[in-house]
Structures are given as structure tokens and as C-alpha cells.
Amino acid sequence: MIDILIKNLPIIVVLCPLMMSLFVVLIPNIFFSWALTTLSTFLTFLFSILLYQEIQIHSHISYALGKWMPPIGIEYIIDKVAIIPIIIISGISFLATIFAYKIMPEEIEKKSISKVYSLWLLAIAGLLGLVTTGDAFNLFVFLEISSLASVALVAMGAHQDKQALVAAYNYLIIGAVGATLYVIGVGLLYGVTGTLNMADLTNRIADQNNNRALIAGFGFMIVGIMVKAAVFPLHIWLPRAYAYAPSAVSVLLAATATKASLYILARILFSIFENSENLINNTLLFVILPLSLSAMFAGTIMAIYEKDIKRLLAHSSIAQIGYITLAFAIGTKASIAAGFIHMFNHAIIKGGLFIAITSIGFYIKKRITINNLSGLGREMPITFFCFVLCSLSLAGLPLTAGFISKLYLIKASISSDGIWLAILILISSALSVVYLWKIIEVMWMREGKNIVKKENPAIYISLIIITFLNIYFGLDASLVVNGSFEAADKLIGDPK
Amino acid sequence: MISSTIGIWNYWIVFCLMMIGLFLVIGRKNFLKKIVGLAIFQTSVFLLYITFGKIKGGTPPILNDSIDTIYSNPLPHVLILTAIVVGVATTALGLSLVLRINSEYGSIEEDDVSAQDLVDYHDDIETGKNFDLKFKK
């Protein structure tokens, strides 16, 4: 029994939320639909932990879906790279589901709660499928499952604010164009190589040196995925979608959605096209590097001038995505490892910040702007304390998780491109303190209006867990760092 | 030269449809027309895949006894079957969002909607006039 479970883990991780979403929609009761969602996200998390242990033994699991052998059939690949986003997505979605219990019925009509939880599980299943699949076209299907479900989730925010509808609409249109561009790329690749399996693609691309259709296909794929990952000039959909979504949805999307796409970006750059070095090096140097640098500064500056706090955090996400793509752009083993470290750390940092901010919205019952926050730090000490710790982590102070990722990023950039990249990273981090301090100052220094009587434990339990993770991975980062270096090792084999 | 240009007319049609669709998505201010553009854009990709699958003189991929039969590649058709389903889901979701936008804003023109949004945003952020934003009591 356990044997069968272990053998089929790669598909069970995806199927668990996917199948449960069908049952959740049938339960009208708010509590029970939430309980079933929590159970299934917990099981998913448990399975991904089991998968992590399996990976430590086998280091590469290839699962043939329906016993159709790859490259003909669809293959699911779990290796040391894929396990990082799997752990991030399943872990954060579990925490976000706990957080959703109290706050979801406040913001969404009671009768549609179970449908929302069903969509919630669908989005998680789509994201998990995205990172487990080893088939380029299957990836597109999961990309669309996750993005259609998240669009519908964002649109549920319309119960509070009608702008959620426009945000969801823009997310849908831009996301669909991105996904279609990706499909064009896959089509061109298929036309040239005659295969859709990623491992097979890698081998066959090596024979097709400088085929123009191949380069065009690569361009289409990269641009399509960059839209989904919200890399700088293609980020337009992100701030609004995160700002107007229901609180719990903001937490889920901000912490997980772009991470899966960033993983796919790394996969395309360093795994599928690993044999066309010239193409990749040019792309990294002339496309990804300038875009990441502009993302770091544009995102931070937009965040400084923003007054709506959820939008502010979304703009800051764009800057943080810039750090991750910058790490990929440097292209050495150490820097790619730094990218994965920051991917993990940013998930727990941004998850914590969004939970803290949206739980303030739970008490003050209006849009969270900078003016509404005055004095709330004294009234909600626990939330405020966790918020400050997560902020410090975002800015990269020692003893927090953010410091570890900044440390490795700066080390990697100094050892490859000299000092100027490291200086730019430091300036951008210093600027991020500006917008964080703006919030902390208003919350702590100004007079309050005594709105909050007592903090609700159901709201802050997941915040405390996630803040603890921030501190823990700042003190002992060996788990994340080792995992990321193994992943980078797997992605680019040669020691650069 | 001319024969090779005309010989790939399928790709020309794909190219034209793709550009028409993308232009509609980017250039139009009407939410409904954008969705029409998106549907055309996706259809062009379907056509692209089907064209890849066709081999000159190829028959449908049904096994027969003769040895020298050329079969067309069936895989792109199957892939496109999936992509069509995704496209239908996207269009349906988009249309339902347009319906909701129309009932909330009374318009589906991007300019009207963003003008209303701007007023709301200003009221929220600068003056704090919109006090309770339909939050549940």
C-alpha cells in the first residue's frame, strides 16, 4: 500500500488538490468546505514532504503517466530542481488555507464560498502540475488551469470593490496572450524537432544548430513565460490583480503564482536549451539582465510612491522577481542557487507581509491605505511585530531569511561580474527600506483611533508560523542553501 | 521564389490572423472586441499546428495494409483539441467578466471604466471619502 503510494507520488501530488476540488464544490457548509480544503492542502504538503525524502534517495524520479513510456507518453519529472517550487507551493497554500478560514466569509458572499475553495484547489493543482510535468504541451494546459482559476479567484473580490473585475479581466487577457505565445513557441519547436518531451527536446535541439525556427520558438516561449512570471515590462497585470483580489487569494497568489513560472523560465533557459549556449548567453546578457535591473528599481520606486498598501506590496514583488531573474541572468552555478534561495525566501517573506496587511483589513473594514493605518501598530501588537520582522527580512537584515538570499546573491554577483552589480543590488535593497519604513512609521508613531479591541487567534496563527519560518531560515539556512545548490548543480552540470 | 511564397499560403493566413487578433487585443478599447481579438489570435495558433501536421499526399492516420502509405501526423490535431477546450474556457470566462463589468460600471469601454476607477481611487486614497466600501457589516 505504502509502496504504491510512494511509486505514484509525482501524480498524487497534483491529483490530490485536483480531485478534492470536485468534492469541495458540493459542500454547502462554510466550515466543512474549509475543513476539506485544509485537509487536502495538508495532504498535498505531506505528500510533497514524502517526495522530498524520495528525492534525497533517488535524486531523479521519472513517472510515466498511464504507463505510456516517455518520450511518446507524458512524463512527470521530479528532481532536485522541481522539488523546491513543489515545497513552496504546497507549504504556502496550506498556510494560506488556514488563514482563509475567518477572512474568506467576511469578504465573499456566503453562498459562493465552497465554489471559491474549489477554484482555490484548482489553482494549486495547476501550479503543482506546472512544476511536475516534463511535457512541454502538458505544461501549457496546467498553465491555463492555474491562470483561469486564479482569474476567477481575483474576480471574487468584486463583492468588495468592483475594480476587481477590471483587474481580473486584464489578468485574463494578458495571461491568455502570454500562454498563447508560449504555445506558438512549443509548436515551432515541435515542428523542428518532432517531440514534446523536455528531456528529448534537449537532445534533439543539439542537432539543430542555429535553426531559425528554433530561435523564434525559443523567443516565443520565453516571452510567454515572462508574461506569466511578471518580469518587468510584462508585469502590468500583477499589481491590480493582487491588490483587488480577496485577502486570502492575494496571499496565495503573491507567494506562489509567479514562483512556478520563474521555475519554468529557469527550466527553459538552463535545461531545454542547454545545448545552444550562444543563444542562451546572449539572451541572458541582452534581455534578462537589463530587464531584471530595471525591474529592481522600477518596482521599488513605484512602491515608494504608492499609497494603497496591497498595491505597494505587489510593486515590491515585481522588484523581488527582478532579483530572482537577475540571479538567473548572471548564469553561474552560485548565482542560480542564489536565485532559488531567494525564490523560497521571497515566498515566505511576501506571504507573511500579505497576511499581516490583509489581516489589518479584517479589522478596519475598509481599503488598506497608508492613512487608515495610523496607530494600528499599538492596537495589534502581534500582527505588527510579525509585520516588522517580515519587513526586516524583505530589506535583508541579518538573522532573517532575506539576509541569506541577499548574501548569496551579492557573493555570486561579485565573483562573476565584479562589484557594480552588487552595488546596484545594495542600493535597491536600501530603497526598499523607504517604503517599509513608511508603513511602520504610520502604524507605530501616529495616534490611533482605538478600532481593534482584541486580535483574533484564527487570523494570526498562520502569520506567526510564517514569521517563525523567516527567522528560522535566517538562523539556519542550510536546508534551503544545500537544496538550491544541488538544484543549480542539476541545472548546469559544468562547474563554471 | 513566387511558387515557394504562394506554396506556404497556409502560413500566410496564420500570420495574418495572428496579427489581426493581436492588434484587436492591443488596439481596441472595447472589452468585448478584445475578447473577439483573443479568440482570433488563438484560432490562428490552432491553424498553425494543423498545418505542421499535414504531409503532402498524406492520408488520415488509419492503419492499412499497403506498405508505402504516407500518414499525416495525428498528434497536432489532438493537441489542438486540448487547446480549443482551453480557448473556449478562456472566452467563456472573459465574456462573463465583461457581463459583470457592464452591470457594475454600466459600460464596457475601457476609457469610461478607467475614468470611474480613477475617481474611486482618488476618493479612497487621497481624501478617504469612500468610507465603507461595501464591506460586510
B93 touches chain A (CB under 8 A): yes
**B89 lies within 8 A of chain A by CB:** yes
Give A143-180 pLDDT, tens digit per residue.
999 999 999 999 998 888 888 999 999 999 999 999 99
Classify residue B80: in a domain, yes or no.
yes
Q: What percent of chain A has pLDDT over 70?
A: 99
Interface test with A, best of B55, B81, B97, B107 (most A CBs within 10 A): B97
> Do the chains contact at A169 and B31, CB–CB below 8 Å?
yes
CB contact set of A359 (below 8 Å; sequence gap of 6+) = A99, A103, A247, A383, A459, A460, A463
Mean pLDDT confidence for B67-75 = 82
Q: What is d(CA A257, CA A350) in angstroms, rounded to the nearest whole number?
A: 12
Residue B85 lies in a domain: yes
| pLDDT of B128 | 55
A-B CB pairs within 8 A amount to 103
CA-closest candidate to residue A130, choices A119, A117, A144, A118:
A144
Print the domain residue range for B61: 2-127
Touching check for B100 and chain A: CB below 8 Å?
yes
- Partnered with residue A77 across adjacent β-strands are A62
Residue A178: Cβ-neighbour burial (10 angstroms; 0-12, 13-18, 19+):
buried
pTM of the model: 0.92
Task: For chain A, list residues with pLDDT below 70.
Answer: 417, 494-496
Q: Name every residue in A having a CB less than 8 A away from some CB of B.
A: 106-107, 137, 140-141, 144, 148, 151-152, 155, 158-163, 165-166, 168-169, 172-173, 176-177, 179-180, 183-184, 187, 190-191, 307-308, 365-367, 369, 371-372
Residue B42 — φ and ψ, nearest 5°? Answer: -70, -40
Q: What's the ipTM?
A: 0.89
Q: Report the C-alpha gap between A201 and B45 in whole angstroms.
A: 21
The rounded distance, in Å, linking the Cα atoms of B1 and A237 is 44
| SS3 label, residue A64 | strand
Q: Are A123 and A150 in contact (CB under 8 A)?
A: yes
- DSSP line for A372-420: GGTTHHHH-HHHHHHHHHHHHHHHT-TTSHHHHHHHHHHHHHHHHH-HH
Does residue B121 lie within any of the structural domains? Answer: yes
pLDDT at B44: 93
Helix (H, G, I), strand (E, B) or coil at A37: helix
The whole-angstrom distance between A296's CA and the closest CA on chain B is 25
* CATH number of the domain that residue B16 is part of: 1.10.287.3510
- For the stretch B4-28, pLDDT in tens is 766 678 888 999 999 999 999 999 8
Whether residue B137 is contained in a domain is answered as no
Residue A418 phi, psi dihedral angles, 5° rounding: 85, -165
Query: Shortest CB distance from B134 goes to which of A160, A183, A190?
Result: A160
Residues of B whose CB is below 8 A from A107: 135-136
Say whether pLDDT at B136 is over 50: no
Q: How far apart are CA A224 and CA A183, in angstroms?
A: 8
> Each residue of A261-300: pLDDT tens digit?
999 999 999 888 888 888 888 888 899 999 999 999 999 9
Q: Does residue B135 sit within a domain?
A: no
Interface probe, candidates A138, A147, A166, chain B, greatest B C-beta count within 10 A: A166
Number of domains, chain B:
1
Nearest alpha carbon to residue A101 among A175, A18, A41, A31:
A31
DSSP three-state, residue A210: coil
Quick check: is B132 in a domain? no
Q: Does B31 touch chain A (CB under 8 A)?
A: yes
Q: Is B136 inside any structural domain?
A: no
